[in-house]
Structure 1
Amino acid sequence: MPDQHTLAEVERATQDRVQHLPLDFDASHALLSLYRAANAVRGRLTNSVLRPNDLTWTGFLVLWNLWIWNSMETREVAESVGISKGTLTGVAKTLGARGLIERIPSTVDRRLVNLELTAAGRELMERIYPEFNKTESAVVAAVKPTSLRTMTEALRTLVEVSEEE
């Protein structure tokens, strides 16, 4: 569901509310656009691809990571998806009950558990990822290829700067 206000309206209202503060409005507006874009794209992908396949956004991210990396320790999955280990436990139980992932105890440390896709999980990802990517392509279709590359480079920079510790 789209926000009831346009980005321009939100930017103006924000600037009106906090104009007396010493703020970097260009940074604020850029990241407001980033947040809004991320939420809009996530909503579109969820509604068009994930929900019809009975998946949540978080469940999809767990499956995608396991599909790409084959096997991951639960802590690594949680970090990669950006959720707590407790949240991952619930998501993994749901995906496991659907026969999409399995828990593999570590042979090195019995406290550790790896997650892996089952054959059904791999089949699901092979089936839905082309549809997911088709929607991704549709979302960026109005952006010129050179602008898309520039945007991608800028977003990579934001990720690198934000992940520095």
Structure 2
Amino acid sequence: MSAQDLDFWSFVDAAVERARDRLPEIDPDAMRLILTLYRVTNMVIYDMESVVHRPRGWSYPGFRLLFTLWIAGPMEAKRAAELSGMSRQAVSALVRTLDRDGLVSKVPAVHDRRAVRLSLTAEGEEAISGAFVTHNARETLWADTLSGEERDTLARLLAKLGAREGARRRR
């Protein structure tokens, strides 16, 4: 197949086949799983970002940080990075924007003046609450493709994949 003959999903099959032909020692099943997971994840994130978050002036990472603070409450930036799955540098850059927009406040931590404690402002609390209703409606739209049993199975399998030794450690 030429590039003109491929579409978004047939590319996965072509990639696995061509990689296996060029490197017979690879694990094609693992490649197919991770490439498919990556593509579906990117589709969902793009959808969430374009329909829910960009119209509010946020990026998906900005939403993730606001969501983390909304769920877990005030915390140090280092902990927010860990819980949101982002680097400390990414959180630091996001906080500047979210602070400027009046959604997050930052104050020096009591025990270490170099550390910053983050919290949602009242405006941030209202904004994330409203955004999450729309976000969850999109989640439901995606999840409705699967039966309840399929959702449970997929969630369990993804949790198992994510629980792999060292998987959560950021490098």
TM-score normalised to structure 1 length: 0.90
The corresponding residue for 1:80 is 83
Q: Distance in 1 between matches of 2:102 and 2:64?
A: 16
Q: Call closer, same or farther: CA 1:142–1:84 in 2, change over 3 Å.
A: closer
Q: Contact 2:16 / 2:28 at 8 angstroms: preserved in 1?
A: no
CA drift at 1:164: 7.2
**Distance in 1 of aligned mates of 2:168 and 2:45:** 21
Distance 2:121 2:142 in 1: 30
Report the Cα distance in structure 2 between the residues aligned to 1:141 and 1:26, rounded to whole angstroms. Answer: 26
What is the alpha-carbon distance in structure 1 between the residues aligned to residue 16 and residue 30 of structure 2? 13
- 1:104 and 1:157 mapped to 2: Cα distance? 37
Give % identity.
28
- Consecutive unaligned residues of structure 2, counting only runs of 5 or more, are 1-5
The residue type equivalent to 1:160 in the other structure is: A
Asked if 1:12 corresponds to 2:14, the answer is yes
CA distance in 1, matches of 2:44, 2:143: 10
- Structure 1 pair 28/55, CA: closer, same or farther in 2 (3 Å)? same
Q: Map 1:140-159 to 2 at 5 A.
A: 140-159=143-162
Q: Give 3-state SS (helix, strand or coil) of 1:103's partner.
A: strand
Count of residues in correspondence between the two structures = 162
- 1:65 and 2:68 aligned: yes
Task: Work out whether 1:125 is the aligned partner of 2:128.
Answer: yes
* Structure 1: tracts of 5 or more residues without a match: none
CA pair 78-164 structure 1, distance change in 2 beyond 3 A: closer
More deviation in 28-37 or 155-164?
A: 155-164
Equivalent position SS for 2:163: helix
SS in 2 for 1:163: coil
Structure 1 vs Structure 2 CA RMSD:
1.8
2:148 corresponds to which letter in structure 1? Answer: P
After TM superposition, the structure 1 stretch with the greater mean CA deviation from structure 2, 17-26 or 88-97, is 17-26
1:55 Cα deviation after fit: 0.6
Equivalent-residue separation in structure 2 for 1:84 and 1:49 (angstroms): 23
**Larger RCO of the pair (alpha carbons < 8 Å, separation 6+):** 1
Alpha-carbon displacement from aligned partner over 1:16-62 (angstroms, at most 9, x marks no partner): 23334212211111111110011000000001100111110111011
Amino acid aligned to 2:9: L
Write out per-residue CA displacement over residues 46-103 of structure 1, whole angstroms, 9 at most, x where no aligned residue: 0110011111011101100000111111111122333332222221010001110001
